[in-house]
Amino acid sequence: MSALLGATLISLAGTAQAQNYPSKPITMIVPFAAGGPTDALARVIAQKMSEKLGQQIVVDNAAGAGGTIGVAKAARAAPDGHTVLFTHMGTLAVNIALYKSLPYDSQKDLVPVGIGGTNPMVLVTKKTLPVKDFKEFAAYVKANQKKVQYGMAGIGAASHLGGLMLNSMMKVEVLEIPYKGTGPALNDLVAGQFDYMVDQAVNVLAQIQSGNIKAIGVSTKKRLPQLPDVPTIDEAGLPGYEVTIWNGLFAPKGTPEAIVTKLNAVLGEALADEAVRKRLIDLAVDLPTKEESSPQALGALLKASIEKWVPAVKAAGVQPE
């Protein structure tokens, strides 16, 4: 069989598969624990996509090792559109600088489907930490490096990136406490079991607003409308500090293009839904514009994030594990 005929047959088979797609429930792998930011965003989006597709979407929290376990599971899944991955840039771009070897190549083993939104981060502390603003926080951490502990969701997680950039710019070395996701980490922060964390607004806004944790600074160049009295970390004492986290939907390499196109369209419809938009905007999520919504735009964003964060993390002096 000629290569051209082979390719044509594969593409025809893909189109036929896409017509009956989805023919059974879809598994959406989330590589962090239930109740955290990645999980929360995935569930809001999955519910609406499932209504539109007329099939159940089951979220599989394949958590551990900073999200690498879940991403590897998605990369090895059957490429028929019935397994997809909802994850963030930490697990696909940042962690390239943090592991000596990864069980996947984020640009080769996955195909981008579409951006799920971008979320700022917030530096939060336990309620009883004796600091009231960023200057006091930085002085306290510096003076107490031997006992201060910060929480994060494993090597390469978004909370790790937020924390490592903060610690490196504050020139401190503190003990890190790894969790399978910042959902469980947040419970422990509220209980006062460690001192601080940099986590996505999606996860921490409600606990800040109910006074269970303290917000010290936000990770963006502009303050958040949800937290107007909280300064940016950049303005409060670390000029240049800026970390935002994009989330995206991916499929295993080899997923037929027609299925990727369908998933991208349904993701777009879910994000255009009034109730979904409102919920996500209230959680400080920046939604993609029309131009940012294509699979190609997500691929380009992944590439740009690797180019931005791999050297930045290396420059912060963190040794790969």
CB of 302 to ligand ASP, least distance (A): 16
d(CA 81, CA 262): 10
Question: Of the listed pieces 35-43, 223-231, 232-240, 256-264, which binds ligand ASP according to CB under 6 A?
Answer: 35-43
CB of 258 to ligand ASP, least distance (A): 31
Does position 32 interact with ligand ASP (CB under 6 A)? The reply is yes
> Contact, 248 vs 114, CB < 8 A?
yes
CB of 88 to ligand ASP, least distance (A): 5
Question: Of the listed pieces 32-40, 72-80, 291-299, 305-313, which binds ligand ASP according to CB under 6 A?
Answer: 32-40
Which contiguous run of DSSP H or E holds residue 112? strand 110-126
Query: Length of the chain, please?
Result: 321
Does position 249 interact with ligand ASP (CB under 6 A)? The reply is no
Q: What is the size of the binding site for ligand ASP (CB under 6 A)?
A: 16
The SS3 assignment for 81 reads coil
Does position 293 interact with ligand ASP (CB under 6 A)? The reply is no
Handedness of CA 187, 192, 193, 196 (dihedral sign): positive
Burial of 163 by CB count in 10 Å (0-12 exposed, 13-18 middle, 19+ buried)? buried
Which contiguous run of DSSP H or E holds residue 30? strand 26-30
The SS3 assignment for 49 reads helix
Q: Which is closer to ligand ASP, CB of 27 or CB of 255? A: 27
Binding to ligand ASP in span 195-234, by CB under 6 A: 200
Please pick, from the candidates 36, 81, 217, 248, the single residue that binds ligand ASP as defined by CB under 6 A.
36
Please pick, from the candidates 26, 28, 29, 33, the single residue that binds ligand ASP as defined by CB under 6 A.
33
Does position 295 interact with ligand ASP (CB under 6 A)? The reply is no
Give the CB-nearest residue to ligand ASP: 36
Report how far Cα 159 is from the mean position of its chain's Cα atoms: 9
The position carrying tokens 């926080």 is: 137
> Contact, 200 vs 41, CB < 8 A?
no
Does position 44 interact with ligand ASP (CB under 6 A)? The reply is no
The position carrying tokens 């509220």 is: 190
Q: Which is closer to ligand ASP, CB of 53 or CB of 93? A: 93
d(CA 198, CA 163): 6
Structure tokens at 41: 């965003």
Q: Do the strands 57-61 and 213-218 form a parallel or antiparallel pair, or are they unpaired? A: unpaired
Q: How much is the CA Rg of the chain, to the nearest whole Å? A: 20
Please pick, from the candidates 27, 38, 264, 305, the single residue that binds ligand ASP as defined by CB under 6 A.
38
Q: Which is closer to ligand ASP, CB of 22 or CB of 31? A: 31
The binding track of 167-196 with respect to ligand ASP, each residue x by CB under 6 A or -, is: --------------xxx-------------
Report how far Cα 229 is from the mean position of its chain's Cα atoms: 25
The SS3 assignment for 209 reads helix
CB of 158 to ligand ASP, least distance (A): 3
Q: Which is closer to ligand ASP, CB of 125 or CB of 159? A: 159
d(CA 281, CA 292): 17
Binding to ligand ASP in span 87-106, by CB under 6 A: 88, 90
The binding track of 139-158 with respect to ligand ASP, each residue x by CB under 6 A or -, is: --------------x---xx
d(CA 73, CA 84): 10
Does position 246 interact with ligand ASP (CB under 6 A)? The reply is no
Binding site for ligand ASP (CB under 6 A): 32-33, 36-39, 88, 90, 153, 157-159, 181-183, 200
